[in-house]
Amino acid sequence: ETGVTQTPRHLVMGMTNKKSLKCEQHLGHNAMYWYKQSAKKPLELMFVYNFKEQTENNSVPSRFSPECPNSSHLFLHLHTLQPEDSALYLCASSQGQGDNSPLHFGNGTRLTVT
C-alpha cells in the first residue's frame, strides 16, 4: 500500500473515446503531480497542483485535461488521444511543492490508445 491509489490500473481506449484517470492520496499532502512514463524515456512532468491550484502545465496538449477538486483527489481527463499517448501515467504527491519533501507515487495507469 503506497498511500497513493490510482485507478484504473490498465486502460485501453480508442482515439475517439473520452476517459478519466483517477488518483487519490490519504497522506495529508498538499501537492499532487501527473507524470508520463514512455518506454526508455525519463519520467515527464505533466501537471502540478499545489493546494488545489495548478502551478505547472508542462506544455501538455489540450487533449489531456487535469482536475483537482480537493487536495486528496486528482483526475486526468482524456479525449481524442493519439497512439503515441500510450504510456504509463503516474500520479504522485508530496507534502508541498517547493519544500524539499519526497514524492510518493501511485502504481500507475497503463494506457493503450488504439
Q: What are phi and psi of 84, to 5 degrees?
A: -70, -5
Binding test (CB under 8 A) with other proteins, winner from 17, 20, 80, 107 = 107
Distance CA 86, CA 108 (A): 13
Place of cell 488521444: 81
Does the footprint of other proteins cover residue 2 (CB under 8 A)?
A: yes
112: three-class secondary structure by DSSP: strand
Does the footprint of other proteins cover residue 69 (CB under 8 A)?
A: no
Taking contact as CB under 8 A, which single stretch among the options 11-19, 20-28, 66-74, 87-95 is the one that binds other proteins? 87-95
Does the footprint of other proteins cover residue 28 (CB under 8 A)?
A: no
Does the footprint of other proteins cover residue 90 (CB under 8 A)?
A: yes
Cβ of residue 52: shortest distance to other proteins, in angstroms? 18
| CB closer to other proteins out of 63 and 104 | 104
Does the footprint of other proteins cover residue 66 (CB under 8 A)?
A: no
Q: Are 48 and 35 in contact (CB under 8 A)?
A: no
Distance CA 83, CA 87 (A): 9
CA-wise closest residue to 36 among 110, 104, 101, 113: 110
Residues interacting with other proteins, by CB under 8 A?
A: 2, 37, 40-43, 45, 88, 90, 92, 97-100, 102-108, 110
